[in-house]
């Protein structure tokens, strides 16, 4: 028997997906458990009412789930368009496909098992120009999108899926009266899916208005039922389905607008604490917006002043400069703040140190956790900010998301000993001079993109990328002194005379007008990172205080 024929009659769902609500653009996110094929029955529960009238698009039909979907659609004679995936078709040409322009899709399944190029899916949903794909404006946008659970390979997928969900939410249906909590997204998940959502920072977000950031409280270390009950309680008109069972919540009259729900319903213990996830973008990630969105936190902190609170800020940005913006008045000694960076910033406005200097959080105390993924430039500037007493404690989080609690000195030493030296060595070749302009320009070959961005350079040639590869970087007049200062951010030379005579006899002169001769950045940086104790003795480098 076809699993589509097992559809549970649900007038509420059918009504929300009916043509009468087409203005509301009901975008639906589904998290599918690949290990449980029976999950397809839940996925396709709403397929008949929307697929009867319009086509169904299946992207990734060679994946196990995509193949099953195509088989079911064939059996039910539901019109569909099949796109196998990037390994079978050139997705760059999808925008010109007549079928994508001529068919009005009411349902789209995105089942790409290996998300090699998430820009395609973002372009498909947004219909806006992204780095790789640009879809024509007459491309039909499905009213419902179903997203298969991703196979996480690295932080870029976390970035993509949060971005994808943010786009989905931003396109969700909004009634003419935004204050009314009309359902705009449906969630389906299994136990493993809910566990995945909570543990991997992959929250489903339900927006009450179109104001950013859209956020939903997800209690940490909770089970599936509790997760969905929480959502259902806070959004009583949002219908949630869990393994075919509807989970409905009714608003407690004593809870004013639901904003105090966490304080009254989620009483944390030593094992359970409040975890808050914010997904936002650079432009809307401001102190005013955060204050507005966190107004409910005042009541919670007052009610449970010692409750551990975890605030996770997922900043959706195409620049990896971490937006360290957080209202100081909400940072308490028991509050953790996790900021997840994704891209390297070229703009001063999104530079961590710039933001820390200008958002008024220097006096705030709290436990600041950095999710750095071994990035050299960002952690050092953040560690230095912590050094300047913005935060009382520091934790470096590697990709496995296990915090290491250290003092500033311990964190810096550990950071430098666990790969920074090796990375820096691999980034530099000896300093070289080029052309007739040898007094005004220097060149680094085989340099990492992040390094030339840090020193204000620009890249030439086809090798410019975000990965370790060989390309040439040319930058304006710069000395080793300036280079080191910009690269580390937190360090500076304090005794130039001793530097010239302190173990580097070939260094004759350091000025702002000429390129330093006789010593390579590789050697200089290598010494600085190889033996931190000798730095103050030989190079006279000290931290800002």
Per CATH, the architecture of 274-544 is what? Alpha-Beta Complex (3.90)
Query: Is the predicted pLDDT of residue 475 greater than 50, yes or no?
Result: no
In the chain, list all ranges with CATH 3.90.550.10.
Answer: 274-544
- Topology adopted by domain 1-148: Rossmann fold (3.40.50)
pLDDT at 15 over 50: no
289-293, 397-401, 472-476 — most confident range: 289-293
- CATH 3.40.50-classified regions of the chain: 1-148
List Cβ<8 Å contacts ≥24 apart for 63-66. Answer: 63/111, 63/112, 63/113, 63/148, 64/34, 64/37, 64/113, 65/32, 65/34, 65/40, 65/109, 65/111, 65/148, 66/109, 66/111, 66/148
Find how far residue 476's CA is from the centre of its chain: 33
Residues 224-231: what's their mean pLDDT? 41
User: Residues 106-136, buried b or exposed e (16+ Cβ, 10 A)?
Assistant: bbbbbbbbebebbebbbbbbbbeebeebebe
Which one has a higher pLDDT value, 208 or 347? 347
The model's confidence at residue 72, banded by pLDDT at 50, 70 and 90, is: low
- CB 250: neighbour CB atoms within 10 A? 9
Quote the mean pLDDT of the chain. 37
In the predicted model, is pLDDT for residue 62 greater than 60?
A: yes
Structure token digits, residue 373: 């993924």
Helix or strand or coil: residue 517? coil
The answer, yes or no, to whether residue 74 has pLDDT greater than 70, is yes
Residue 82 has pLDDT above 70, yes or no: yes
pLDDT at 350 over 60: no
C-alpha dist (Å) from residue 205 to 159, 316, 326: 15, 14, 20
Give the CA dihedral 9, 15, 16, 20, nearest 10 degrees: 150
Whether residue 70 has pLDDT greater than 60 = yes
Give the mean model confidence (pLDDT) for residues 302-313: 52
Instruction: Specify the pLDDT at position 71.
Output: 72
What is the mean pLDDT of the segment spanning 111-138? 41
Q: For position 474, what pLDDT does the model report? A: 30
Average pLDDT over residues 496-505: 31
Query: What crossing angle do the helices spanning 119-126 and 155-170 adopt, rounded to 10°?
Result: 10
């Amino acid at each position: 028997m076809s699993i589509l024929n097992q559809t549970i009659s649900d007038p509420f769902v059918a009504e929300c997906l009916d043509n009468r609500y087409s203005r509301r653009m009901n975008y639906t996110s589904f998290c599918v458990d690949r290990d449980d094929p029976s999950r397809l029955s839940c996925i396709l529960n709403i397929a008949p009412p929307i697929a009867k009238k319009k086509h169904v698009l299946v992207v990734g039909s060679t994946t196990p789930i995509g193949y099953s979907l195509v088989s079911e659609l064939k059996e039910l004679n539901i019109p569909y368009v099949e796109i196998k995936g990037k390994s079978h078709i050139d997705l760059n040409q999808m925008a010109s496909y007549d079928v994508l322009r001529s068919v009005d899709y009411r349902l789209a399944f995105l089942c790409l098992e290996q998300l090699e190029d998430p820009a395609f899916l973002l372009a498909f949903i947004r219909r806006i120009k992204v780095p790789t794909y640009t879809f024509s404006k007459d491309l039909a946008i499905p009213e419902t999108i179903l997203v298969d659970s991703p196979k996480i390979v690295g932080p870029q997928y976390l970035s993509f899926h949060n971005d994808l969900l943010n786009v989905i939410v931003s396109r969700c249906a909004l009634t003419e009266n935004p204050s009314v909590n009309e359902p705009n997204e449906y969630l389906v998940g299994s136990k493993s899916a809910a566990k995945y959502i909570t543990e991997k920072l992959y929250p489903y977000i339900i927006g009450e208005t179109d104001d950013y950031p859209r956020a939903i409280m997800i209690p940490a270390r909770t089970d599936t039922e509790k997760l969905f009950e929480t959502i259902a309680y806070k959004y009583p008109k949002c219908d949630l389905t869990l393994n075919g069972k509807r989970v409905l919540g009714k608003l407690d009259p004593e809870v004013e607008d639901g904003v105090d729900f966490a304080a009254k319903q989620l009483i944390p213990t030593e094992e359970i604490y409040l975890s808050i996830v914010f997904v936002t973008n650079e432009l809307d990630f401001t102190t005013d917006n955060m204050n507005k969105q966190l107004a409910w936190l005042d009541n919670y902190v007052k009610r449970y002043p010692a409750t551990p609170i975890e605030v996770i800020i997922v900043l959706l940005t195409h620049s990896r400069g971490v937006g360290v913006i957080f209202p100081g008045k909400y940072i308490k000694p028991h509050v953790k703040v996790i900021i997840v960076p994704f891209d390297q910033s070229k703009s001063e406005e999104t530079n961590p140190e710039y933001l820390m200097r200008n958002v008024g959080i220097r006096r705030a105390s709290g436990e600041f956790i950095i999710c750095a993924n071994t990035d050299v430039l960002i952690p050092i500037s953040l560690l230095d900010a912590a050094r300047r007493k913005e935060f009382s404690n520091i934790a470096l989080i590697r990709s496995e998301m296990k915090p290491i609690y250290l003092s500033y000195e311990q964190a810096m030493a550990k950071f430098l000993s666990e790969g920074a030296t090796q990375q820096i060595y691999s980034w530099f070749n000896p300093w070289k001079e080029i052309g007739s302009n040898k007094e005004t320009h220097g060149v680094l070959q085989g340099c990492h993109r992040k390094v030339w961005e840090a020193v204000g350079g620009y890249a030439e040639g086809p090798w410019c990328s975000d990965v370790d590869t060989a390309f040439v970087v040319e930058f304006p007049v710069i000395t080793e002194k300036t280079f080191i200062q910009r690269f580390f951010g937190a360090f500076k030379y304090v005794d130039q005379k001793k530097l010239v005579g302190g173990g580097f006899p070939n260094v004759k002169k350091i000025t702002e007008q000429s390129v330093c001769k006789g010593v390579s950045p590789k050697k200089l940086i290598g010494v600085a990172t190889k033996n931190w104790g000798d730095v103050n003795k030989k190079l006279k480098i000290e931290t800002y205080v």
